[in-house]
Chain A
């Protein structure tokens, strides 16, 4: 798959250069574009976008390269070359960027509101969604991303959604139920780690393909989970540390906020960030660590504990943006300026409190990443590719660049729990979802 795409990209580049060469007035532009393609970065990714657009999209969607690149940039909140992404991720964005009719959007809304729905394509494949905790806005948005991606595949005739509500036994029961129903394509957000692997294995033994998105399941064999789409947590931890080091000028105290006690994600990014701090000269000290359970109340208590230490913390590093307004609240109640916040993911409420503080004595720095919901789309493409007999690597690792907050990021018309502008759902559909 990768080789085919590369050939197509090269053909596209050649065609564009020939066209440029025949138009004298456009010669300079062609040279610039040619330079861009050879460097592989910058310049808006012109060549890369064409390359991506030239390859076939999913069996339902197709888009030109510029549209695909625009979608990638939106999903990552910054420019990321399409060609730099794993092949299955490129493919997923090509499919996602394909045109969708109003009828498809209507079907998407219907499917999003129901546990089971007919996509109307007449396809024989049933896509199963196994969500470990599908009760927050992020998961609901991800569900819609999955549905929209699935509707680009004519082979998918039915979508079945299950929600374990954070209950492991329910999650196992849901996977078994999907298997019993003959579901062959399963995408999952696994909140329980390896505890669900036996159920996934049973599903795959029954002929299904399973892809998990966001976070990754440590030590999951491909016999249980054929594909995992996730960011490189260690790299993200290092990037957070690098951002903090630059922000603090190489010296100062920072705090780590984690989710549930002992979760592997936290352990990974904590270790990598600490390593990065040490390699940066050791001037930045991790003076406080706290679990938050990823809840608002837990985060407020963690921030309260941090205030009670009396330590001059300059930055808080966290792996979830949603509860961070509680940190701002705690610091404001304590009459202190909020330290810089560097976090995975993004959240509209957080943007709101950040914007409100700008221009006042309470202003603080904020660095964040994409909401990551797009990964759910990649999982759909991965399982469909696998069912087509194509080769998909066990790990599809995507970058997670951090961006600095700028004015205008807050969307007052959208819910506070909205995961930010990286969401790929069309605005018209989003409005209906939120109404």
Chain B
């Protein structure tokens, strides 16, 4: 989503003026300066990623590029990219989705229960997962976009709700603890050490990039996500598109969780726990602003790579998960500060305009 109303006052005015005259014009390609700015961000994170991989490989003794390492790191990375994309779509609307961990855990439980651990039940499980994710997305979207509630509070609440439902649905002693073998096999596949999950995640990044940037529906979604007011003035059903963004995000999260469940094999009630802070950090590293607007799928993927490699380095060096959390917190803080610094340099403003 390369459209940011607040960073593009000229566009905003143009859209509003066009709407006022009844000739709504959709935001088209962004101004060169902002595109260049985003390109610079992507270039920076790409360089940082490459540097980190090289330091890991040759300086820290993390044999990342070996086949055996790749085969265990890339599935984790693939899942993180998908979850971060889900978070990124929501952050693009100016919201945040704290219910992602609970949704992941619910999907893991559905995968077990609906399939009964058998290949024959896998299709039913996938359909149930998709239905559940659509419902969660609609509920979150309606509460935030229609009722105007704060996304943070709403998703915190729905996360609790989903968590409670998951526990009840799972039951006291789950009779099945392993996902269907077909899903396990599928999620464990790799090509030259590169996990199929990562390949699918990268493919999804590209599809999302194309859809958001090169299709009418995608541009409408981007416009509505970036600024509900500007999009409404442009004649778009902005809220509907924004709700669609929530649904899209939750479905992406659900598909990622399905693959995660397959990769873990025996999903439990902690399945989603690692995907709260990490997804936000990946999105921020990808050049997004937490208040919404500018989000790049490619940037998110690069951000996720940084987080995954950093975590692997910390793991190999024997640092505790506490250190990993501190590192992620620091990266989040520094990333936000760096983006803020770049914005000040570009616009001369410390704070962005209100919508």
Contact = CB atoms under 8 A, between A and B. Distances in A.
A97 B269 CA distance: 34
A354 interface: no
A91 B243 CA distance: 63
Counting from the closest, the 7 A-B pairs by CB-CB distance are A305-B315, A416-B177, A334-B68, A261-B320, A304-B72, A295-B270, A308-B69
Interface string B295-324: 000000000000000011001101011100
12 contacts: A262-B322, A296-B268, A297-B273, A304-B315, A307-B68, A310-B61, A310-B63, A330-B72, A333-B75, A333-B190, A334-B68, A434-B173
Contacts of A288: 318
Contacts of A261: 320-322
A376 to B, nearest CB: 15
A349 B112 CA distance: 14
Interface stretch (B35-43, B230-238, B259-267): B259-267
Contacts of A332: 188
B64 A308 contact: yes
B69 A334 contact: yes
Contacts of B172: 112-113, 140, 433
Interface of B: 61-64, 66-69, 71-73, 75-76, 167, 172-178, 188, 190, 263-271, 273-274, 311-312, 315-316, 318, 320-322
A135 B167 contact: yes
Contacts of B269: 135-136
A295 B268 contact: yes
Contact of B188 (A302, A308, A333): A333
Interface in A135-190: 135-137, 140-141, 165
Contacts of A304: 69, 72-73, 76, 312, 315
A385 interface: no
Contacts of A415: 173-177
B318 A290 contact: yes
Nearest to A301: B315
B179 to A, nearest CB: 11
Contacts of B320: 261-262, 291
A323 B293 CA distance: 40
A17 B72 CA distance: 64
A247 B69 CA distance: 26
A278 to B, nearest CB: 19
A328 B311 CA distance: 21
A140 B321 contact: no
A271 interface: no
Contacts of A140: 172-173
A290 B315 contact: yes
A133 B321 CA distance: 20
A389 interface: no
Interface in A379-423: 415-417
A264 to B, nearest CB: 14
Given A165-B167, A295-B273, A334-B72, 7 more contacts: A291-B320, A293-B321, A296-B265, A308-B62, A308-B315, A334-B69, A415-B173
A16 interface: no
B63 A433 contact: no
B316 A305 contact: yes
A303 B263 CA distance: 14
A379 B207 CA distance: 58
A166 to B, nearest CB: 9
A262 B325 CA distance: 14
A330 B266 CA distance: 13
B318 A336 contact: no
B321 A433 contact: no
Contacts of B274: 297-298
Given A136-B269, A296-B264, A415-B176, A335 B321 contact: no
Interface of A: 112-113, 135-137, 140-141, 165, 260-262, 288-291, 293, 295-298, 300-305, 307-310, 325-326, 329-330, 332-336, 349, 415-417, 433-435
Nearest to B167: A135
A279 B207 CA distance: 60
A349 B263 CA distance: 15
A112 B171 CA distance: 12
Nearest to B188: A333
Nearest to B66: A310
A356 to B, nearest CB: 11
A145 to B, nearest CB: 13
Contacts of A417: 173-174, 177, 266
B62 A433 contact: no
Contact of B321 (A298, A334, A416): A298
B142 to A, nearest CB: 28
Contacts of B71: 333-335
A329 to B, nearest CB: 6
A333 B312 CA distance: 16
Nearest to B315: A305
Nearest to A308: B69
Contacts of B318: 288-290
Contacts of A290: 315, 318
Contacts of B173: 137, 140-141, 415, 417, 433-434
Contacts of A305: 312, 315-316
Contacts of B190: 333
Contacts of A325: 265-266
B264 A349 contact: no
B12 to A, nearest CB: 43
A329 B181 CA distance: 13
A434 B175 contact: yes
B175 A435 contact: yes
A273 to B, nearest CB: 16
A322 B14 CA distance: 60
A261 B73 CA distance: 22
A137 B315 CA distance: 29
A371 to B, nearest CB: 14
B169 to A, nearest CB: 13
B122 to A, nearest CB: 18
Contacts of B63: 308-310
